[in-house]
């Protein structure tokens, strides 16, 4: 039974790496970050932002606006860590609400989540690094 669980876990990880690494120009590191980020996204983000990053009506914004993700790359770690209040414009629509922070997430957790979001929903091939998250948390207060 235990060997079966380990085998299934191994197959899941390999399948995920294969899917992400088959995308053009995605490095193995980016694929690994995205796989780890997907697990954290499901736990911390999916209930509001949806399984495909589509958001929830006018309550929670989608995470599929590649322009917003690129233009606000430096602010994204702070938004995840500390939350956000007030108006945000995504795809020309206004969303006003309260996103709770996730202070328990580590820098690497945030790097994983952002790599997953930007590679899956944002057409990026870049890895968010722990160092980038750390610097952005200091610089964007």
pLDDT value of position 112: 98
* d(C-alpha 117, C-alpha 19), whole Å: 15
Helix residue ranges per DSSP H, the chain? 2-21, 28-44, 46-49, 66-71, 76-82, 107-120, 130-139
> pTM score, two decimals?
0.80
Please give the average per-residue pLDDT across 35-56, as a whole number. 97
pLDDT value of position 32: 95
Into how many domains does the chain fold? Answer: 1
* d(C-alpha 69, C-alpha 75), whole Å: 9
Pick the more confident residue, 109 or 59: 109
| CATH code of 36's domain | 1.10.760.10
Q: Domain range spanning residue 30? A: 2-139
pLDDT value of position 21: 47
On the CB side of 36, how many CA atoms lie within 13 Å of its CA? 17
**Joined tokens for residue 17:** 């790496």
């Amino acid at each position: 039974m235990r060997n079966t669980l380990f085998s299934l876990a191994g197959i899941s990880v390999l399948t995920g790496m294969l899917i992400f690494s088959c995308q053009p120009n995605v490095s193995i590191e980016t694929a690994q970050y995205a796989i780890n980020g997907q697990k954290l996204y499901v736990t911390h983000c999916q209930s509001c932002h949806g399984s495909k990053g589509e958001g929830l009506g006018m309550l929670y914004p989608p995470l599929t606006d590649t322009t917003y993700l690129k233009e606000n790359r430096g602010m994204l770690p702070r938004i995840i860590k500390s939350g956000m209040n007030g108006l945000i414009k995504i795809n020309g629509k206004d969303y006003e609400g309260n996103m709770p922070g996730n202070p328990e997430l580590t820098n690497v957790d945030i790097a994983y989540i952002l790599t997953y979001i930007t590679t899956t929903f944002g057409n990026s091939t870049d890895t968010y690094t722990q160092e980038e998250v750390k610097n952005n948390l200091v610089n964007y207060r």
